[in-house]
Amino acid sequence: MGNTKPYIDMRKLKVLGIAAGVGSCLFTFHKRRNFEVIGNVEPRAVFHTKKEEQWKLNFGDIPFERSIEPYMRKMKPDIIIGHPDCGDSSILRMSRAKKKGNVKTNPSVNLFLNSINHYQPSIFLLENLPPFLESHPLESLNDIFFERYSLIAIQGSVSLWGNSQVSRNRLVVIGVLKSSKVAHLRVNKLIELLCHHQTRSQNLKPSDLKWLPAQTFELGETENVSLGHYRELPNTFVSMYHPTDGRRKLPFHEVRSIWDKQLPKSSQRWPVGGKMKNQPGVSRHVPGKPPLTVRKQNRQFGTSNLVLSPREMANIQGFPISFRLFVDLNQRVYWLNKNRVAVTKCPPYEISKWFKKVIKKSIR
């Protein structure tokens, strides 16, 4: 017999995105030894373009559909990952609509939950805002999934996973199929690792969180379009109130001048006077402090008082340079908006990277 090694089934685990944007949360699994991304079903129009340039740039011909097409119903994913809508429970929605929406009627949420029952993957990850558990407590999810899954919920600052946006609070719900048929996946080990991280998150103090200062993620004034590091032109007008004369639209070069010369260096919010102390959604990073939560709006500024570029936002979200951003300068504003959506309406990269690491530790 000699020293023949025993056969170990190391087939690749199939990863399917459901409401996974343009695939930023799938990218860490793409072209990896133990994993294979087999597709993404994204119903939200904001993530799509006519030729799907952004998706194809990173994932080539891997299916990217708006609904589960007939040929996709026969897929057999081992892992499903997604971040369905959380806008219904977001702070910005509360400030505009003055009430929370109904997550239970949200199409992307329902697509994700129904897909879990249809495909019955061995593992799934759902990322959302903590208020998601108000409409879908774990007991309710257990009923939806017919108690097939062991569910672990982890919530808190994304710095729990190693991202520097201390102010960004998220919820991660992971389900592990109790009767997983993946021979080389140690289900008990996976649950043990997830519960360990859950306990750690509950005991972590704010002073224990590690982060890098905001200026770490900035790339300077010189554009590098190939990286997605570009901005609106200086004479572009944006909806912002002048802090003294009441004008409602200002060009970016004037906004920068006001940040530079008229506002305290420690100010992170844009003042407007009157009943409102500051203008919602307008913020600036301050040197030596962690970056604020990045959003898709073009009214967030870096420490140099320049509006953040899509690549700088991607840096803050933890995405590697290898995650490319499609750019067409003939449609500069259009692709600026698409790039911001691509990198902000999704989980920080560290969450999916951590998820992959935990799964790998659970593989024989």
pLDDT of amino acid 7: 38
pTM of the model: 0.91
Asked if pLDDT for residue 12 goes beyond 80, the answer is yes
1 within a domain of the structure (yes/no):
no
Same domain, 200 and 97: yes
Asked if pLDDT for residue 8 goes beyond 80, the answer is no
Same domain, 193 and 308: no
Write the pLDDT tens digit of every residue in 61-83: 999 999 999 999 999 999 999 99
Write the pLDDT tens digit of every residue in 238-283: 999 998 888 999 999 999 999 999 999 999 999 887 677 788 889 9
CATH number, domain at 126? 3.40.50.150
Find the range with the poorest average confidence among 22-31, 122-131, 237-246, 298-307: 237-246
Same domain, 103 and 170: yes
pLDDT of amino acid 96: 41
What order do you get walking across the sheet with 79-82 strand by strand?
64-65, 35-41, 13-18, 79-82, 123-128, 169-177, 149-157
State the total domains in the chain: 2
Tokens encoding 118: 């249809």
Mean pLDDT of the chain: 91
Same domain, 114 and 188: yes
Q: Please state the separation of Cα 196 from the chain's center in Å.
A: 23
Across 115-136, average pLDDT: 97
CB 54 within 8 A of CB 45: no
Same domain, 124 and 80: yes
Same domain, 41 and 129: yes
- Within 10 Å of residue 268's Cβ, how many Cβ atoms? 16
Domain containing 324: what range? 214-344
Name the helix (H) or strand (E) containing 190: helix 187-203
